[in-house]
Chain A
């Protein structure tokens, strides 16, 4: 990005401006673009989630605003903006007002290093992955602040749950990321993607058994960090009303939901970057523009596939209890992640560039797993007797 700013200052629209001011303008421009992009992504994700969820629950879902209800999120957003912004009289008003923005900052910052295509990244910093896990931790401060300042005991419980949960699950998530970093030797998001190829056997998912395990560790931990079912304890509706967000209304409440749905996309994007080959496509054409579009499309499809899986999980599973959540993290995920990373280090020492046989074996294994899974799904679909759902007699 600095090169772009330099070029603009030297030759482009910002010619003659002081260098510092030029940087500020470019950064503000990018931030504005990203903010709009995030709004769009979070909105579309919310619509998609509601539709997917409705199908799972044998409902129809929002279908009134726009074709198939596809701009329902816009209507909801406008409605929420027009609502009264209530600050409870007993709340700690400055903190209460500031908390949603802090949560927002945390996840918004992470989008700076999401690589949508070759060169299509706001800032390809050399510690990209670390930066993501550091910046997204700001979200927990926001949620905890919201819970504390609401002066509501349900909100406080929600905030504390969220803090405990996110801090705990940072560890297996970070260890899973390190497993990949052992093979790339770089923390840069673009570097990690460049270390992979477009074909599945060149993805880190199938690089060796340890990255394969790391993928699932990371996905589960990311779900927990994003407060998604089955780990949606901070806002557990049936227990804590709305958790840390109980007292929020209007735009501030909307911001928290923006964070939630934006986070969902972020989980998908980072998983895609680390394990699924990111934007890598085969070089099928010379046209840079077509290739770029194909890269962006590939990245989006992969990320949204994982988003869909998260929605699917949410429609399927109940919620775990607080002690079960902590047991799962500290007694299972953390030890597994440690052992997995150590074994991966041995593997990296023996076969630093991987082995074609291991990759092939992992691909076959993964394919077998997928086939088995879809057979199970088909089996259950047959047992579910969809004709009964579709043509009720009465």
Chain B
């Protein structure tokens, strides 16, 4: 065990009986830790004292690899940072390189990026919503959500030939233009998909047991959320209206109308698990809205700017931010004028969320820990990179 845990294992219980604190090892092969997360749970029966997250099971040195493979070559690796929504990671790296070299992306390229990453966001949120249902013991919503995600994968496959690790974006734009008839098919899909969101709500969101399981569990106040550095839906679930797409506009996002849904504490306390869940459900709708605008108003022109094959940006350091599915994803890159970056660092949403679990888990039931992990939407590879 990598942590030195200093908790007195033996303590006097009522009536002089000695009770022992139970140390449970949750993960890395636990069904509900979504990949390879590990928690050391200190429990008193069903009630947890604390759950200590243990990270490092999925570390792949992605940031170090960037220093060896160069700017163009790093693009496929960014898919693996968060493989559940790879498009936004692509976009983050492309934007960092463009900012280093001062490249202007053609408007059609920006639109293609928005279309790709919003589809990616819907797919990612569908997994999150379905997995939350699954962790609460309802398996039906998961299969329904995965079914829709398959269709989105079909659409993205049409766009870039891949279903999970897309490698779609390039420095200066996108790899391929939209295929003929893509916009029509994508809008037809949205026409089909949007009524299904209501169905998900009926299927699970307003289910009495489901609400009881999520409402009032692990509420995070706005102040705590900010001080813990939570981002994305987790931050918005606490009622903080902050979205990088709106507040630090990038790409073509300023041209679209969309709302930033926040948690309202509708079924319990502000910032509880249910709020975080509902924020994701509502973001799916907003993504559909952005997609419709982007697909209808896509301008003509090239999708990629002219970028030299040997990409050598001027020396300097940049930091760009994209709103990934798990929140504000920061990309920091330092160039020394050669074809390889000197340093790359990625700041991800799951990492901060993972750190919050230890505080949140105090006094909850073991079943609630599952709800907390699911509602924070932690994806293991994003934690470790």
Nearest CB of chain A from residue B146's CB, rounded to whole Å: 10
**Residues of B within 8 Å of A, CB-based: how many?**
41
Q: Please tell me if the beta carbons of A157 and B46 are within 8 angstroms of each other in the complex.
A: yes
Q: A57's closest neighbor in chain B, by CB?
A: B143
How many Å lie between the Cα of A57 and that of B204 in the bound state?
13
B69 interface hit (Cβ, 8 Å): no
Interface string of B30-59 (1 = CB under 8 A from A): 111000000000000110000000000000
* A285-321 interface (Cβ within 8 A of B): 315-321
Q: Please tell me if the beta carbons of B136 and A318 are within 8 angstroms of each other in the complex.
A: yes
Q: Please tell me if the beta carbons of B365 and A154 are within 8 angstroms of each other in the complex.
A: no
A350 interface hit (Cβ, 8 Å): no
Chain A residues with CB under 8 Å of B151's CB are 392, 394
Nearest CB of chain A from residue B136's CB, rounded to whole Å: 4
* A49-84 interface (Cβ within 8 A of B): 56-59
How many Å lie between the Cα of A315 and that of B137 in the bound state?
10
Which of A160, A318, A319, A388 has most chain B Cβ within 10 Å?
A318
Q: B374's closest neighbor in chain A, by CB?
A: A238
Q: A322's closest neighbor in chain B, by CB?
A: B46
Chain B residues with CB under 8 Å of A59's CB are 143
Chain A residues with CB under 8 Å of B139's CB are 57, 315
Given the contacts A238-B137, A317-B207, A153 and B24 also touching, CB distance less than 8 Å: yes
From A315, A316, A317, A323, B365 is in contact (CB under 8 Å) with: A323
Q: Please tell me if the beta carbons of A239 and B370 are within 8 angstroms of each other in the complex.
A: yes
A33 interface hit (Cβ, 8 Å): no
Q: How many A-B residue pairs have CB under 8 A?
A: 100
Chain B residues with CB under 8 Å of A240's CB are 366
Q: Please tell me if the beta carbons of A394 and B189 are within 8 angstroms of each other in the complex.
A: yes
B60 interface hit (Cβ, 8 Å): no
A278 interface hit (Cβ, 8 Å): no
In this complex, the interface size class of chain A, counting residues with CB under 8 Å from chain B, is 35 or more
Interface string of A187-231 (1 = CB under 8 A from B): 000000000000000000000000000000000000000000110
The stretch of B208-216, B234-242, B294-302, B322-330 in contact with A is B208-216
Chain A residues with CB under 8 Å of B138's CB are 316-319
From B22, B196, B368, A321 is in contact (CB under 8 Å) with: B368
Nearest CB of chain B from residue A238's CB, rounded to whole Å: 4
How many Å lie between the Cα of A394 and that of B22 in the bound state?
51
Given the contacts A238-B137, A318-B210, A320-B209, A383 and B198 also touching, CB distance less than 8 Å: yes
Q: A233's closest neighbor in chain B, by CB?
A: B367
B303 interface hit (Cβ, 8 Å): no
Chain B residues with CB under 8 Å of A321's CB are 212-213, 365, 367-368
B64 interface hit (Cβ, 8 Å): no
Chain A residues with CB under 8 Å of B45's CB are 160
Interface string of B198-229 (1 = CB under 8 A from A): 11001010010110110000000000000000
A283 interface hit (Cβ, 8 Å): no
Chain B residues with CB under 8 Å of A241's CB are 30-31
How many Å lie between the Cα of A160 and that of B45 in the bound state?
10
Chain B residues with CB under 8 Å of A388's CB are 192, 195-196
From A56, A236, A323, A394, B137 is in contact (CB under 8 Å) with: A236
How many Å lie between the Cα of A385 and that of B199 in the bound state?
9
Chain A residues with CB under 8 Å of B366's CB are 157, 239-240
From B32, B188, B202, B210, A383 is in contact (CB under 8 Å) with: B202
Nearest CB of chain A from residue B206's CB, rounded to whole Å: 12
Chain B residues with CB under 8 Å of A322's CB are 46, 365, 367
Nearest CB of chain B from residue A330's CB, rounded to whole Å: 16
A260 interface hit (Cβ, 8 Å): no
Interface string of A152-165 (1 = CB under 8 A from B): 01100100110000
Chain B residues with CB under 8 Å of A85's CB are none
Chain A residues with CB under 8 Å of B154's CB are 394
A324 interface hit (Cβ, 8 Å): yes
A90 interface hit (Cβ, 8 Å): no
Q: Please tell me if the beta carbons of A57 and B192 are within 8 angstroms of each other in the complex.
A: no
Chain A residues with CB under 8 Å of B189's CB are 393-394
How many Å lie between the Cα of A6 and that of B127 in the bound state?
65
Chain B residues with CB under 8 Å of A239's CB are 32, 366-367, 370
Given the contacts A153-B24, A322-B365, A380-B202, A385 and B195 also touching, CB distance less than 8 Å: yes
* B98-150 interface (Cβ within 8 A of A): 133-140, 143-144, 147
A384 interface hit (Cβ, 8 Å): yes
Q: A230's closest neighbor in chain B, by CB?
A: B209
Q: A157-B366, A161-B46, A393-B189 are in contact. List 7 more A-B contacts (CB 8 A).
A: A153-B24, A237-B31, A238-B134, A318-B138, A320-B213, A383-B202, A394-B155
Could you tell me which B residues sit within 8 Å of A by CB distance?
22, 24, 30-32, 45-46, 133-140, 143-144, 147, 151, 154-155, 185, 188-189, 192, 195-196, 198-199, 202, 204, 207, 209-210, 212-213, 365-368, 370
